[in-house]
A and B are shown apart, each in its own frame.
Chain A
Amino acid sequence: MIVLVASMQNPGGLAEQLQRLKEGLHFMLPEIGIVITIILLVVYDLLFQKNKSVGLAAILFSALSFLLVFQVLSFLPEANALPLFEGLVTHSAGANLFKIGFLLSLLVALLMAVTSRKDSLHYFDSSEVLVCLLGVLLGAFLLVMSSNLLMIYVAVELVSICSYLLTGLGKGKKKSEAAIKYLLYGAAASAVMLYGMSWLYGLTGSIDLNSDSFKIGLDYAVVVPLNIAVFMVLCGLLFKLGSFPLHVWAPDVYRATPLPTVAVFSVVPKLAALLVLLRLVAATSATHFDWQTWLGILSIGGMVVGNFSALWQDNAKRMLAYSSIAHAAFLLAGVSIMNRTGLEATVFYALAYLLMNLAAFYLIQMVENKVGSTSYEQLKGMGKKIPYVSVLLLIVMVALTGLPPTVGFNAKLYLFSAVYDEFGRSESTILLWVLLVGLLNTVVSLFYYIKIPYLLFFKEGEGNVAPGAYTIRALIPGTLLVLSVLLLFFRSDWFVDLLNSINFVL
């Protein structure tokens, strides 16, 4: 609208712009699809009084499967980046790849919700939770596409507000506490980010990351205000990334929220924020802001805080929360490399993390269905009662640690070797520190990840599992996820070739 109003005096130009806008809409079909699904869900929820779960689930799953197929079919690795809506968003293969990942995670999360005995009513009884989940998805879709500061802000807010609602929906003191904490942190972080964006606008006179005036303005910007501005923008993204030092909300929120929602929280906003961060780094890399040092420091802090806090947890959910903080730190380490190899290693790590994390949450959910809780006390000795799921869980925990034969090993290997190469080239000390702390923390993480299989298999517990075996239907997604985690270790070249053909930064 802003752009349109600017050319108000010239009907001819306006006609051209409308034409471009119409063409742009064609590329926004997935987003439009999500919006239509949201509206359908609400309308269905309003029209019918009782037994809505089947209808809601039908609408949701058919829409998501349709979107997934559409997104995969329209995926062209070599496609060029295409600015749409006068540079507000950019259609690119990198964004498309991430969108496929997001759709996959939402599908897995919803399958978790269906199989969960405790929470399935919470999800499918009414449309609210589903609408909020789709809102997070829509925000993430827009976020990975956005190439404009304003669009980044709007998308981050969309993701955030839906996340607050998802945390707060339902009854319980813990839920309200977590939601209020989340809301306060989030509001502060996005306010700071918006303020930083206004500084960037003041410095450059543009909010379009790809525009010339933005680049030229950054070149001429004074060092101190520029540093402050970029740092403030970074704050908002770090919050969404759930990364040190803005990670404080994560454990509370993870504990208070049902597992399927946590699975979405731990993957979708995180990866979306990562891609935007990569774009921001690329747009401001030639300036006086020392990305490498800052990101290195943040990454080291995140690894230490995440890993060492995870050691002391007594609940699988909270442990995974801290582990996700540590993984966010590894991602930041990848971003701090700032070259093509580093970029690919980061994206590989991100997508491997997506798979591993989804598998972990899916299996923990299956365990919770039988055991009734995710606390360590309850997990003791359950391995013999549910052997298949426990073995799968063991593989996923090995993957999260970063040991062979899983994709987690490849991810860490690529990341660390990219850091090492860049260190050999530029001899910047911060990268050496990142590398050392990263390796050390991988060893530390072994302890808390392996603790879960250890409890499952080697401890004696008196807890009982719910009667009945797992249905095949519930086992298939978990098995597939674990198989893909294993397969990508042996054939990681598939993934790497794919990533090589994509330009992520536009």
Chain B
Amino acid sequence: MIESNLSEFGVLLIFILGALLFAVVGLLASRFIRPNRPNFEKLTTYESGEDTVGSAWGQFNLRFYIVALIFILFEVEIIYLFPWALVFGDEALVRGTDWQWAWFAMTEMFIFIGVLALGLAYAWRKGYLDWVRPPQKVASFKSKIPAEAYKKYL
């Protein structure tokens, strides 16, 4: 067996340096290779191909966060399920432990999913998932000038 002289921290350091180097080299290389002819259109912020409107610091509807949180919860759950499925399905382990392992892994995951589902049920039942539209405000102001009057000038 070959003994490498790197400790675990050394490997970590190499990863960090590698990540930095990758970014720096990539950006520098493209800077030297590319032609540099900026114009107004090129310098605008890219927003899914649409024209940007307003600042990114605007207020969002609070409900976005609730939906996003629930989404992340279940997404993380899925990530957790994949390694579980692999280990759970290991036939050697299941047979080696006389099915104990299968029961253990199964119960554990059902409890986990059950608690998450309860959370979703809670949010649903309490109405946090209902996307209520803000009521349209109709102005009560009545102008003395009739609408036809404007047509004259249009």
Contact = CB atoms under 8 A, between A and B. Distances in A.
> How would you classify the secondary structure of chain A's contact residues: helix, strand, loop or mixed?
helix
Interface stretch (A5-13, A365-373, A484-492): A5-13
Nearest to A18: B100
Contacts of A114: none
Interface string A1-30: 000010010011011001101000000000
Contacts of A59: none
B95 A11 contact: yes
A8 B121 contact: no
Given A5-B87, A14-B93, A39 B115 contact: yes
Contacts of A43: 118
B152 interface: no
A39 B87 CA distance: 28
Interface in B14-58: none
**Interface size grouping (class) on chain A:** 10 to 19
Given A5-B87, A18-B100, A18-B104, A11 B93 contact: yes
Nearest to B124: A46
B10 interface: no
B101 A18 contact: yes
A11 B118 contact: no
Q: Which residue, A8, A11, A202, has most C-beta atoms of chain B within 10 A? A: A11
A104 interface: no
B64 to A, nearest CB: 19
B96 A14 contact: yes
B121 A14 contact: no
Nearest to A131: B122
A39 B122 CA distance: 11
Interface in A38-86: 39, 42-43, 45-46
A46 B125 contact: yes
Contacts of B122: 42, 45-46
B98 interface: yes
Nearest to A49: B125
A15 B98 contact: yes
B96 A11 contact: yes
B115 A8 contact: no
A502 B51 CA distance: 71
A45 B125 CA distance: 10
B97 interface: yes
A128 B65 CA distance: 19
Contacts of A5: 87
Contact of A15 (B9, B97, B125): B97
Given A11-B93, A14-B93, A14-B101, 11 more contacts: A11-B92, A11-B97, A12-B96, A15-B97, A18-B97, A18-B104, A19-B100, A21-B104, A39-B115, A45-B122, A46-B125
Q: Which 5 A-B pairs have the closest CB atoms?
A: A11-B96, A15-B97, A46-B125, A18-B100, A11-B93
12 contacts: A8-B87, A11-B92, A11-B93, A11-B96, A14-B93, A15-B97, A18-B101, A18-B104, A39-B118, A42-B118, A42-B122, A45-B122
